[in-house]
Amino acid sequence: MKKYWLEDIITSFDDYAEQLDNIADEDLSILEKAELKEFIEDAKLGCMNGMLLCLSREQRLVYVLGEIFGVDHNLGSRLLGISKDNFRQILSRARRDLYNFMNNKCGLINTSNPCRCHRKTKGFIKSGWVDPNQLKFNTSYLRKINEVAKEKATDLDNELETEYADLFRNQPFQEKEHSDKLLKTILVNNKVLDIFNLNSAGI
């Protein structure tokens, strides 16, 4: 939500695919891959967050809770004040849309796809998506999401351990002040409540 302005730039999977296609591919030497390792990782994380922005806010929130943090439909429906069936349906649509895009576009998932993080990195830098002087995503984190999720949710439904979800779970988790307040923030955040029309219900 802090980067909400990106929603005006990344509006759909088709639009995002076109934007990625417009970023020139540039092969890197072995030495350049080593020198630009941090930038390549930032490019990958930034690109994956762009994929999430292609989902609606409702889908994005349910996907982050259900797929990345492993919150099952029982807990997820209670957190968001929606039915279990609705939580499952939203999560299913989000998975379908996101994974169809990744399977058709992302070289991390489908090796027949030409898109590669290292080949896009210089283009991302030139276009301003990656700032060499201030990395947006790949910075001073303590742990990854999958480590935190395993610790903090013992009753999770882990039936869908796919390589798609693992890519997102391996993103850095900024375990600073907000990590222990994650679910509390979800429950009291007016923007989140508005997404599910909970404010009008007096919740």
- Concatenate the DSSP letters of all residues of 121-144 into one string: HHHHHHHTSS-TTS-SSSSS-SEE
Confidence category of residue 118, pLDDT binned at 50, 70, 90: very high
- pLDDT tens digits, residue range 132-147? 888 877 655 545 555 6
Q: Are 127 and 151 in contact (CB under 8 A)?
A: no
Q: Who's near 106: CB < 8 A, 6+ residues apart?
A: 51, 113, 115
Calculate the average pLDDT of the chain: 79
Percent of the chain whose predicted confidence (pLDDT) is above 90? 44
| pLDDT, position 4 | 60
pLDDT tens digits for 17-54? Answer: 999 999 999 999 999 999 999 999 999 988 998 999 99
Nearest to 159 by CA among 41, 44, 49, 72: 72
Do 124 and 23 meet the contact criterion of CB atoms below 8 Å apart? yes
Instruction: Provide the whole-model pTM.
Output: 0.67
63 neighbors 51 (Cβ within 8 angstroms):
no
> Is 132 within 8 Å of 89 (Cβ atoms)?
no
CA distances from 85 to 40, 89, 128, 129, 194 (A): 39, 6, 41, 38, 20
pLDDT digits (tens, 9 = 90+) for 154-178: 444 443 345 667 767 776 655 545 4
